[in-house]
């Protein structure tokens, strides 16, 4: 019995045992009980028979009685051990630190075993052994109740764990759905918050020496292109917004000027593109705001069509074309 496994609530997953094993063990215990009862009956009959015949000496009778008592106690002890083993051996996976009750049982077993293996055990010793076996059976009963309670707790814990696992799976699925929906909603809001441009005008301007400006359509006299348009959106949050302006000259080249903050950007529909100017604006939700800014070119302006495109939030929100004429003298 030194290697007996003791029950513990540390592993609730394997507390059940096959019914056939439990039934077989119970059958064996039942047979041993029947054999023990038969042995006791025989000893009582034999003792009565011997007393009636007056055979044997008193010492011999006392010795035989003591031996019969030891045999009876040994069988009782074996039955108690098997009963204990039916609790612990059938629950090999309910292991852990031994409880105070289990330690008491071990001590009681050791004390009983010591008496029953003592060849010089007295009648008082055997009486004590019988009392200890009774106490041992009582402790085993308490241990049986404890194992039953632990099994019930383990079954309840497994049921709760399964329920919580199922709830977690449902919550995880719902969270994934909500996350996807939120991402789609955020994306829709982001797209919907893109400003729209309208009323675009492109005015070629000649700057006089006195600082006054005059509109002209002759390319060689143009000093700058004055671009104007309106922006608006009903859901865009009030605050700063960046507009990106692309000006393409008649040869298909994008005008770039370091003074205008020219650079490159990534659009949502047209891939990566160079832009001519980055125009910051302050926008107020639900209002129409006029935007106006000049475009200058270090290389001057040539006759032909100039294409202006305006981007916000990665989308093209407006465009226009302005033609510059060739002068009479070139």
Average pLDDT over residues 206-224: 90
Q: For 231-245, how does the pLDDT look when each residue is reduced to its tens digit (9 = 90+)?
A: 998 888 889 999 999
Of 152 and 243, the structure prediction assigns the larger pLDDT to 243
Q: Is residue 44's pLDDT more than 80?
A: no
- Give CA–CA dist 169/174, Å, rounded: 9
Give the containing element (helix H, strand E) for 242: strand 239-248
Of 173 and 211, the structure prediction assigns the larger pLDDT to 173
- Give CA–CA dist 124/143, Å, rounded: 28
In terms of Cα–Cα distance, which of 74, 76, 94 is closest to 144?
Answer: 94
Structure confidence at residue 69 (pLDDT): 74
User: Please, what is the average pLDDT of the chain?
Assistant: 79
Q: Which residue has the tokens 């106490």?
A: 135
Give the containing element (helix H, strand E) for 311: strand 304-312
Structure confidence at residue 93 (pLDDT): 45
- The number of beta carbons lying within 10 Å of the beta carbon of residue 304 is 13
- Give CA–CA dist 242/232, Å, rounded: 13
Of 29 and 190, the structure prediction assigns the larger pLDDT to 190
Of 4 and 56, the structure prediction assigns the larger pLDDT to 56
Question: What's the first-to-final CA gap in the chain, in angstroms?
Answer: 116
Percentage of residues in the chain having pLDDT higher than 90:
35
Q: For 172-189, how does the pLDDT look when each residue is reduced to its tens digit (9 = 90+)?
A: 999 999 888 888 887 888
271: left (phi over 0), alpha (psi -120 to 50) or beta: left
Pick the most confident of 15-24, 72-81, 148-157, 214-223.
214-223
Categorize the per-residue pLDDT at 39 as very low, low, confident or very high, splitting at 50, 70 and 90.
low
Q: For 102-113, how does the pLDDT look when each residue is reduced to its tens digit (9 = 90+)?
A: 788 888 888 888
What is the model's pTM? Answer: 0.52
């Amino acid at each position: 019995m030194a290697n007996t496994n003791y029950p513990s609530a540390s592993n609730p997953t394997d507390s059940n045992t096959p019914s056939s094993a439990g039934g077989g063990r119970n059958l064996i215990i039942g047979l041993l009980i029947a054999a023990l009862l038969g042995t006791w009956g025989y000893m009582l009959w034999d003792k009565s028979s011997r007393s009636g015949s007056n055979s044997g000496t008193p010492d011999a009778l006392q010795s035989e009685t003591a031996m019969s008592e030891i045999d009876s106690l040994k069988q009782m002890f074996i039955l108690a051990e098997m009963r204990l083993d039916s609790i612990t051996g059938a629950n090999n996976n309910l292991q852990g630190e031994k409880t105070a009750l289990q330690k008491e049982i071990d001590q009681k077993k050791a004390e009983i075993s010591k008496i029953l293996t003592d060849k010089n055990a007295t009648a008082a010793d055997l009486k004590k052994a019988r009392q200890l076996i009774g106490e041992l059976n009582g402790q085993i009963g308490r241990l049986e109740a404890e194992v039953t309670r632990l099994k019930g707790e383990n079954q309840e814990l497994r049921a709760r764990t399964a329920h919580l696992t199922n709830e977690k799976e449902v919550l995880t699925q719902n969270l994934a759905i909500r996350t996807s929906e939120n991402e789609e909603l955020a994306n829709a809001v982001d797209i919907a918050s893109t400003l729209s441009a309208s009323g675009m005008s492109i005015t070629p301007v000649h700057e006089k020496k006195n600082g006054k400006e005059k509109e002209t359509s002759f390319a060689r006299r143009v000093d700058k292109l004055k671009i104007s348009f309106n922006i608006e959106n009903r859901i865009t949050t009030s605050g700063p917004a960046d507009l990106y302006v692309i000006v393409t000259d008649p040869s298909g080249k994008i005008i770039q000027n370091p003074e205008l903050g020219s650079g490159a950007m990534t659009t949502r529909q047209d891939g990566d593109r160079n832009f001519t100017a980055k125009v910051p604006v302050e926008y107020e939700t639900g209002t129409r705001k006029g935007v106006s800014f000049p475009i200058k070119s270090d290389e001057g302006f040539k006759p032909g069509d100039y294409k202006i495109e305006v981007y916000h939030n990665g989308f093209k929100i407006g465009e226009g074309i302005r033609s510059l004429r060739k002068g009479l003298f070139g």
